[in-house]
Amino acid sequence: MSGSGEHQPHRRRWPWVVAGLAGIAVVSVAAYAGEEQDESLAALEATSVDASTLPQTLPFRFVAGHLLMDALPEGSTEPIDFILDSGAPTTYSDRTADAHGGEAVGQVREQAIDGSVLDVPVISIETLAIGDAVFKDVAGSQNWVAPDNPLSCLSDNGLIGANLMKNAVWQIDYANEEVTIASSADGLDHIDDAIALEFTFTSIASPSPLVRFGAGDGELVFLLDTGSDGGLSVNPADLEAIGMTVDPDGPAADVLGAGIAGIFETALTYAGVDLDIGGTAAEAYPVATLPTLAEGQGNIGNEFLDDFVVTIDWPNETLYLDPVTGDGSIPTPAVPAQATLSWDGEDIVVGSLARESAVAQAGLALGSVVENVDGVDYGEASRDDFCALFTGETPARFAVTTADGESYEVGPADGFYDSLDR
């Protein structure tokens, strides 16, 4: 295998909440007939950048597997935070739309990772400044999560999406928590020796990059999704299409996912896939199978991406991945936690559970109400109490006590990937 096995990520990559292992819902703009749709797509395509304000190198905050950046809307004196999400169109909360947006210009139909399809309004903010970089006519869907959704802990404002990002080159340095926004990749570090992959996208209105990795008897297509806390995930049918089957007894986790459409329960079963990533091999790499993902379009999230300096060159439709390993190999992913915590709108609950882990065998169940964490009473926890846990530093090991009085010591799911012939 090509991964060194000795690479230590600069932070734990499984936060308190595993938001479906696809993080923010994968949202695509679906085509359907209608004047409102046409007007909305035109507005999304019209988003542009003032090239004279580039380049910019700016900090971001990496919180619970997501990238948070500040932006200043037209007429505002205080910046507001957004999640940086290459996997979705720009998205505004009702509060942000009311405070900074104009009248709705139409509506679009969007599909979330749980398979639901929503018709949502589109509004446009005249300018949005990210640092000194000025983006104009920033259209976005008015469709952010409800306050009881765990993802609202990250931002009350929404997503900076692909229809804004496509106007520039974005280089994401996870280790140093910096983003460089430039007109061109010329002169940027982490390009010459990086893995280079051409990408495509379905439309200018929703230009999330689609990249292809060699795999099995063919290839797998992945949507590049910086709004996701997950790794590599595909529909099980995608593996069948390249001559692979998913072992039902392989490593798996049950998950309460959190996305734009709300909370949903799903299961992830992992397969070890031999990947060719732009000529660099990654043998038996753990790929999660997720039945709710669209066939033919998997997902790449930050659990995979933060092992690289990532450069998304939209003008030239090229993705550069510069591995953090000294020898240029693809790092081995960290094992998941045995369990993580989530919020169901009323209580802190078990949000993910690795099957066959020690805590699962001891009786911990997905969705169990958690009343104590590391000696702190959360029996009457508020949303703010949960958000403080979610956005705080994740310990390598922690203790939970559930509503039935049982206590569990939760740590890494050691050996989780062992059956993948690594």
Task: Give pLDDT tens digits for 260-296.
Answer: 656 778 889 999 999 999 999 999 999 999 887 889 9
Report field, pTM of the whole predicted structure over 0.85? yes
pLDDT per position as a tens digit, 15-40: 444 433 333 333 445 444 456 667 88
Q: Please say if the pLDDT value at position 383 is more than 80.
A: yes
Lowest mean pLDDT among 15-29, 61-75, 254-268, 370-384: 15-29
Angle at 325 between CA 58 and CA 212, to 5 degrees: 80
pLDDT class for 147, splitting at 50, 70, 90? confident
Q: Please say if the pLDDT value at position 358 is more than 80.
A: yes
pLDDT of residue 70: 97
Lowest mean pLDDT among 2-11, 146-155, 298-307, 356-365: 2-11
CB neighbours of 384 closer than 8 A, spacing ≥ 6?
Answer: none
Query: Phi and psi of 386, rounded to 5°?
Result: -65, -45
DSSP class of residue 391 equals H
Averaged over 126-154, what is the pLDDT? 92
Give the ranges where 139-250 is alpha helix by DSSP (H): 162-165, 236-241
Closest by Cα among 182, 135, 224 to 315: 182
CA distance 37 to 72: 27
Stated as kind and residue range, the H or E segment containing 385 is: helix 383-391
What is the identity of the amino acid at 41?
L
Q: Please say if the pLDDT value at position 78 is more than 60.
A: yes
Q: Please say if the pLDDT value at position 73 is more than 60.
A: yes
- Where on the phi/psi map is residue 363: left (φ > 0), alpha (ψ -120 to 50), or beta? left
